Amino acid sequence: VPHIADTKPGGKYHMTDIDRVGGVPVVMKHLLDAGLLHGDVLTVTGKTMAENLAELNPPAPDGEVIHPLSNAIHAQGGLNILRGSLAPNGAVVKVAGLSADQMHFEGPARVFDGEDGAMAAIMSGDIKPGTVLVIRYEGPKGGPGMREMLAITGAMKGAGRGGDCALITDGRFSGGTWGFCIGHVAPEATDGGPIAFINDGDKILIDVPSLKIDLLISDEEMLNRKKGWKPNPPRYTSGVLAKFAKLAQGADRGAITNIIK
């Protein structure tokens, strides 16, 4: 689905401007007419999406705040799924706010087991340009709960690292992130995903056009690192968070809970 709404943080306008030109129904109706939405799905009104939009009868895209598909801002949507040796089950990157020259990144890893250590390194000026910041053990199980990484992206931008570094995590991001940020890496570190075996200095390749994210080490080296590996101990051993960590599935499964077998 192409990117057609020119909204912040990557675009020019705010959601109030979307409302001014007809609101979200403008986007939905335009996508529906192009065959990009399933209009027969039921909604909370008891009617289908197509029926709701027909009653609202929203205007056509204004061409400035909301672009027509024939003049989309980007041919692909604002979110892409990357896969590769670092994220076999996928990872999510927001590309709506990236320029064309930011779609490819290769650099050495700087690894942190949790957001707090990464934040301290950024605030002390210890992150160099060209670094791929890796924050792991923040996934559905490792967090537990998949902590939002918005603060770290703001700190990177404030420290001047928002445009010349990349950030990879098994945690999640909000829509307000800025820069080259990749989240929802699956499998997560606690599940023994490749992100658990990244070492400082390892080269990481991210290429959005080819939807690839790779850890550039040999298969033999990966096997050696996995020998005798154990996940970090759980942050909670009792209570609701401990229970959630035991029941949660991966981000690629929606972090839904399941019955222990």
**Residues 179-238: tens digit of each pLDDT:** 789 999 999 999 999 999 999 999 999 999 999 999 999 999 999 999 989 999 999 999
Same domain, yes or no, for 28 and 153? no
In the chain, the percentage of residues whose pLDDT exceeds 70 is 98
Cis peptide before 9 (omega within 30 of 0): yes
What rounded mean pLDDT belongs to the chain? 93
Of the ranges 54-68, 72-86, 247-261, the best mean pLDDT one = 54-68
Position 158 in a domain: yes
Q: Is the pLDDT of residue 259 over 70?
A: no
Do residues 158 and 118 both lie within one domain? yes
Q: Kindly state whether residue 9 falls inside one of the protein's structural domains.
A: no
Let me know if residue 221 belongs to a domain. Answer: yes
Taking the C-alpha atoms of residue 86 and residue 73, their distance in angstroms, rounded to an integer, is 29
Instruction: Quote the crossing angle between the two packed helices 150-158 and 115-123, to the nearest 10°.
Output: 10
**Do 149 and 45 share a structural domain?**
no
Please indicate, yes or no, whether residues 152 and 56 belong to a single structural domain of this protein: no
Domain housing 55: 15-71
Cα 261 from Cα 251, distance rounded (Å) = 20
Q: Which of 23, 51, 71 is the last residue of a domain?
A: 71
Residue 192 lies in a domain: yes
Last residue of a domain, one of 71, 97, 119: 71
- Parallel, antiparallel or unpaired: strands 203-207 and 212-215: antiparallel
pTM: 0.83
Write down the H helix ranges in the chain: 15-20, 24-33, 49-56, 115-123, 150-158, 219-226, 239-247
Mean pLDDT of 98-106: 85
In angstroms, the CA 71 to CA 185 distance is 32
Give the domain CATH number at 102: 3.50.30.80
Q: Do 197 and 123 fall into the same domain?
A: yes
The reported pLDDT for the residue numbered 258 is: 79
135 and 243 co-located in one domain: yes
Catalytic status, residue 174: yes
5-9, 68-72, 99-103, 199-203: segment of lowest average pLDDT: 99-103
Q: Are residues 139 and 231 in the same domain?
A: yes
Which of 85, 124, 174, 218 is catalytic? The answer is: 174
> What number of residues does the chain have?
261
Mean pLDDT of 97-106: 83
* For residue 39, pLDDT beyond 90: yes
pLDDT tens column, 107-145: 999 999 999 999 999 999 999 999 999 999 999 999 999
Q: Is 204 in a helix, a strand, or coil?
A: strand
Please report which confidence band the pLDDT of residue 249 belongs to, taking 50, 70 and 90 as the band edges: very high
Is 145 in the same domain as 20?
no
Residues 145 and 217 in one domain: yes
* pLDDT of 69 higher than 70: yes
Q: Is residue 1 part of a domain?
A: no
Task: Say if CB 186 and CB 250 are below 8 A apart.
Answer: yes
Lowest mean pLDDT: which of 2-6, 59-63, 182-186, 194-198? 2-6
Q: What integer pLDDT is reported at residue 99 of this predicted model?
A: 75
Assess if residue 27 is contained within a domain: yes
- Is residue 196 in some structural domain? yes
Q: Is the pLDDT of residue 163 over 80?
A: yes
Total of domains in the chain: 2
